[in-house]
């Protein structure tokens, strides 16, 4: 029989009507996928309580956000700031490990080249580090942030273009 071809991934710019779906992906990615490397307490601190949709939408307007569609659903999103900082990369657990994160990073890399941004940087979680590494990022230094009494380990990473 052979393996089934995977469902195609399409990347497009974020639209205002994507606010609710991207917020839901963020919440699901942190509360489900991040549990593989963080405790429940750490995940709750990271989520930081319910988010206000209007604030979330305003945040998306301050950066370039791109969304990934897979199988007719919004599967993930990525934020690129004007200085090359990749602020958010989140993929819904239902679409995890299918290349959505990789496709979003490839898209942002092409966008950064187009805008003549020379370096991409990010703060990667323990979960995201291998994904950024697979896309050519290297660790500059590990760091620990403190939120709501929890320690959250992460990595400052960069990639020269």
CA distances from 67 to 10, 38, 39, 62, 149 (A): 8, 25, 28, 15, 32
User: Which residue, 88 or 112, is less far from ligand COA as judged by CB?
Assistant: 88
The token pair at 120 is: 């991409």
Q: Which residues contact 71 (CB under 8 A, 6 or more apart)?
A: 7, 95
Closest distance to ligand COA from the beta carbon of 6 (Å): 10
User: Which residue, 49 or 116, is less far from ligand COA as judged by CB?
Assistant: 49
Closest distance to ligand COA from the beta carbon of 106 (Å): 9
Q: Is 104 helix (H, G, I), strand (E, B) or coil?
A: helix
> By beta-carbon distance, which residue lies closest to ligand COA?
101
Q: In Å, how far from its chain's centre is CA 5?
A: 25
User: Which residue, 14 or 90, is less far from ligand COA as judged by CB?
Assistant: 90
Closest distance to ligand COA from the beta carbon of 12 (Å): 16
The binding site for ligand COA (CB under 6 A) comprises: 29-30, 33-34, 89-91, 96-102, 124-125, 127-128, 130-131, 134
Q: Which residues of 89-118 are buried (b: 16+ CB within 10 A; e: fewer)?
A: bbbbbebbebebbbbbbebbbebbeeeebe
Closest distance to ligand COA from the beta carbon of 46 (Å): 9
Nearest to 31 by CA among 21, 41, 22, 18: 41
User: Which residue, 33 or 42, is less far from ligand COA as judged by CB?
Assistant: 33
Cα–Cα distance for residue pair 54/74, rounded to 1 Å:
19
User: Which residue, 75 or 112, is less far from ligand COA as judged by CB?
Assistant: 75
Closest distance to ligand COA from the beta carbon of 4 (Å): 16
């Amino acid at each position: 029989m052979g393996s089934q071809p995977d469902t195609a991934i399409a990347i497009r710019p974020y639209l205002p009507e994507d606010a609710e779906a991207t917020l839901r992906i963020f919440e699901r990615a942190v509360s489900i996928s991040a549990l593989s490397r963080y405790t429940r307490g750490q995940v709750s601190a990271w989520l930081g309580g319910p988010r206000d949709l209007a604030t979330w939408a305003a945040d998306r307007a301050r950066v370039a956000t791109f969304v990934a569609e897979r199988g007719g659903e919004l599967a993930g999103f990525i934020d690129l700031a004007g200085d090359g900082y990749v602020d958010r990369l989140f993929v819904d657990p239902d679409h995890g490990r299918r290349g959505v994160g990789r496709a979003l990073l490839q898209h942002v890399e092409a966008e950064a080249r187009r805008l003549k941004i020379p370096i991409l940087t990010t703060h990667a979680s323990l979960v995201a580090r291998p994904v950024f590494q697979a896309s050519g990022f290297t660790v500059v230094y590990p760091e620990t942030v403190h939120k709501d009494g929890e320690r959250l380990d992460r990595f400052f990473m960069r990639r020269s273009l």
